[in-house]
Structure 1
Amino acid sequence: MFLHGGQEHNLEPVEKKHASWWRVNAMAKRVGAFDGTAVTYVIRFGARGWNDPADPSPVGDARAALAELREAHPGLPIVLVGHSMGGRTACRVADEKGVIGVVGLAPWLPEGEPVAGVVDRDVRILHGTRDRWTSAPLSKAWAERARSVATSVEWTPLPGVGHFMFRRVSTWNRFVTDSVAEIRLRGTM
């Protein structure tokens, strides 16, 4: 399941014209074309922002989407792929039934972000070293903390690349494809 990025505070509804949504939608199509055995599902959050820290908008949306996905495909192992705010959301909801791992792309993982969602899950993170929207050092620090609870954690820097996945598109796509395949394989062991 693919989860798009957003903003810290924005109550506007997400529309297909928003770059954060269409970026992950395009990626999901490419990844689906690489791996004909995977079901790709792209969530569109109800609001563009994280908003209330006590009850983040995208977390409820993602949990509802996961319930729909489980109903449509019972027993299917689920890997969450999230960019920016979607990466943060994926890490929060990875504790849902059926989720076996998370692939974070320039995830927004601020200081103090909990790691409890990834207990016994595989986590892969790719973060551009020139990201000015989310912090590569903070996502790396989160990954280090997550090692104590996750099944496996890999944090990979992408030198010279920023946040929006416009540069080295094939590298982002290949990272997702390889990470999802690896997590799915580990999930069958």
Structure 2
Amino acid sequence: MTHARLLDTVAPSAPRGVALVLHGGAARRGSMRVSPTQLSVLRMVPVAARIARAVRGEAAVLRLLNSTRGWDATHTPVDDVRWALGQVAERFGPDLPVTLVGHSLGGRAALLAAGEHSVVSAVALNPWVYPEEGRADVSGRRVLIVHGDDDRVAPARRSASVACNLARTAELVGYVSVSGGKHAMLRRSDVFDGLAAQFTAATLLGREPTGVVGRVLAGEQWVEV
């Protein structure tokens, strides 16, 4: 049983792929239901819109609203991602490739769910992770981690450790350190949003990458911007 919901940003009738956008947000006392108006959810609206512009109607862009806030050990955001992937398969077909794009705990969920059957790539923005989660099997996937060096909520050293470990199984792992970037991604938002959009368009649709994403997909593992 899940209370997760999917919201369309763009949904063409015959997409070539799907970008699934995942929000963060810590648990709160009282009601644990996710509100469409909570800040962690709203922060992903411009990310989804930027991806929609980058894919130019060739891919669906959907935002996942989790069952509950935070990370409930009995039903985690990874469970909600798996539910959403099932919904995507029913709606668009079982063989459509998917890119996961998440922030904070959503970035954690994106990395931990990257090994799911239909997922071809994942983007984790300021992910809140444990170093040991780099043991996840992401064989054949391409992964981008983008982390602000002034993030006081999710330590960048943890995501850097995860990136090193994921590289043991992934087809490719790129790590971009954003100078002055804080956890909410409001400062230098254009960098965070743009990298997520460009990486999605390149790995999901085969678009020719440029700039930082081009460097990452050419094999440069560590980049500072």
One fold, TM greater than 0.5?
A: yes
Structure 2: gaps of 5 or more residues: 1-19, 208-225
- Report what 1:29 is aligned to: 49
Residue of structure 1 aligned with 2:85, choices 58, 63, 66: 66
Q: Does 1:131 align with 2:185?
A: no
Report the Cα distance in structure 2 between the residues aligned to 1:145 and 1:9, rounded to whole angstroms.
Answer: 31
Residue of structure 2 aligned with 1:7, choices 16, 19, 26: 26
Residue 88 and residue 117 in structure 1: after superposition, are their counterparts in 2 closer, same or farther (change >3 A)?
farther
Counterpart amino acid of 1:101? S
Cα distance, 1:186 vs. partner? 5.9
Q: Is residue 123–residue 145 contact of structure 2 (8 Å, CA) maintained in 1?
A: yes
Q: Does 1:172 align with 2:192?
A: yes
Residue 117 and residue 93 in structure 1: after superposition, are their counterparts in 2 closer, same or farther (change >3 A)?
farther
Instruction: Percent identity, please.
Output: 32
Name the larger-Rg structure.
2
Residue 176 and residue 145 in structure 1: after superposition, are their counterparts in 2 closer, same or farther (change >3 A)?
same
- Report what 2:180 is aligned to: 160
Report the Cα distance in structure 1 between the residues aligned to 2:111 and 2:135, rounded to whole angstroms.
Answer: 7
Please state which structure has a larger fraction of its residues in strand: 2
Cα distance, 1:41 vs. partner? 0.7
Aligned pair count reads 185
Taking only aligned residues, the RMSD between alpha carbons, in angstroms, comes to: 1.8
- Report what 1:20 is aligned to: 40
Structure 1: gaps of 5 or more residues: none
- Report what 2:71 is aligned to: 50
Cα deviation 1:139-188 (Å, max 9, x = unaligned): 0110001100101000010011101010112111110111112222569x
